Amino acid sequence: MPVGPQWRHHLLYTHDCHLVLALSIRCSISLLCPTGVPTTPSEIGMIVAPSSYMQLDPALSFVVYILEDTFKDMGLKRHLVVVEVENYRSAMGKMAEDIIALRTQMVRLEAENSQLRSALSLQQDLGKDLIIMLLLCSSLANETSKAASQRDRIQMLQNDLIKENDSEKELLKLQRVHQQQQEDLQRCHSPLAKMANLEATVKHQEKVIEKMEKALDSKLIEKTSKQTGDRRPLVNRQRVGGTDNRKEEIESALAAENSRLRGELDRIHQQPAPVIKQQSAQRKEALPVEERISLLSKMERAEARVQTLEAQLEENSNLWGREKQEMLTKLSEHRHGFVRTDSFKAPLTNGMRFSISSMSPWLSARAAATSALSSSWRLGCLASSYNVHSSVIEV
């Protein structure tokens, strides 16, 4: 008899009955097929269908029907399992594809991540560079401000240097003017020095004249005493009176000579130096030859001395110029902030004092030469007057 699906469901729900039925089916199959358990419905049908037991036992036919239905369900389940396996396989394939896609995406993301990290590092380096650039810009602004201040200071120092150069030029002009004034003063003092030397020589000559007068008086007394003797006292008295008269005449002549010399000295004081030179040249012509030669030799020595003094003066002036230049350079270095040395303390007037002191021997030499000429002329005059007086005494 046919069995509906309600019965089959009922049998499935009755688990114990199903187990009992399965055991009974298993036992019946083992009895019917002692060689082995059939696995497929065809085998079961081949075993059960031709059997004569189905005709004899309807329960067995029912069991066979149930077995056929069970094996159908098992085939369906197997088909479902195969489908599920296929689905699982397709799912695994999809999962593998998804895994591969995820791996490729992960590689791509890692590459992007590395790129982003490199970009981040670049951005950080850019930030550092920006900070460094800002610091450099600030330092550049500070340096430009310092450069502007230094430029202003340099301009101010240049202006100060120009002012110092102008003041130095004015100082040089003042030094030249002062030197010219010193030279003019020296030229003015030279005649005064000559006058002082002439006065000294005149005083010396006056002393010499007094000594010569005393010597002449003593010689005249001795000569008259020897000539007269003791035999002619009246003649001696007359001669003594004559000698007194002659002495008075000599004294008057010497006084006139002294007055004349004083007048010439006063005239020399009043006259300039070229007139003195002309008079000394005129007096040279009246001198003897030996005195002229001696005076010429003295003049040559004086000229040689003057030449040496001029050479020494030129050398000293060059040395003074070098020292002045060194002092000026040291002064400029000191003004610009350099170290000042100890050799900078020499005053500027040493050169001028040295030049005046070096000029004084030349002036003294010329004064000595002129005094020698005047003294030789006076000695010649005294000698001529002495000869005149001696001739008068002899007469």
The mean per-residue pLDDT over the stretch 148-167 comes to 90
Quick check: is 331 in a domain?
no
Q: In total, how many domains does the chain have?
A: 2
Quick check: is 379 in a domain?
yes
Quick check: is 177 in a domain?
no
Output phi, psi for 337, to 5 deg: 100, 10
Q: How far apart are CA 347 and CA 358, in angstroms?
A: 18
Residue at a domain's end among 106, 130, 155: 106
Q: How far apart are CA 26 and CA 20, in angstroms?
A: 10
Both structure tokens of 195: 């006058």
Residue at a domain's end among 55, 80, 106: 106
Q: How far apart are CA 209 and CA 244, in angstroms?
A: 19
Rounded to the nearest 10 degrees, how much is the dihedral formed by the CA atoms of 14, 19, 25, 26?
160
pLDDT-derived band at 274 (thresholds 50, 70, 90) equals: very low
Which residues constitute the domain of residue 52? 5-106
Q: How far apart are CA 65 and CA 1, in angstroms?
A: 10
Quick check: is 148 in a domain?
no
Q: Minimal CA–CA distance to 258: which of 385, 372, 370?
A: 385
Quick check: is 355 in a domain?
yes
Confidence (pLDDT) at 122: 79
* Region of poorest pLDDT, from 9-13, 55-59, 142-146, 173-177: 9-13
Residue at a domain's end among 85, 106, 127: 106
Quick check: is 293 in a domain?
yes
Quick check: is 165 in a domain?
no
Output phi, psi for 369, to 5 deg: -65, -45
Quick check: is 115 in a domain?
no
Residue 383's alpha-carbon distances to 77, 257, 282, in angstroms, are 187, 13, 18
Confidence (pLDDT) at 107: 92
pLDDT-derived band at 71 (thresholds 50, 70, 90) equals: low
Predicted TM-score (pTM) of this structure: 0.25
Q: How far apart are CA 180 and CA 250, in angstroms?
A: 51
Within 8 A by CB and 6+ apart from 365, the residues are 302, 305, 306
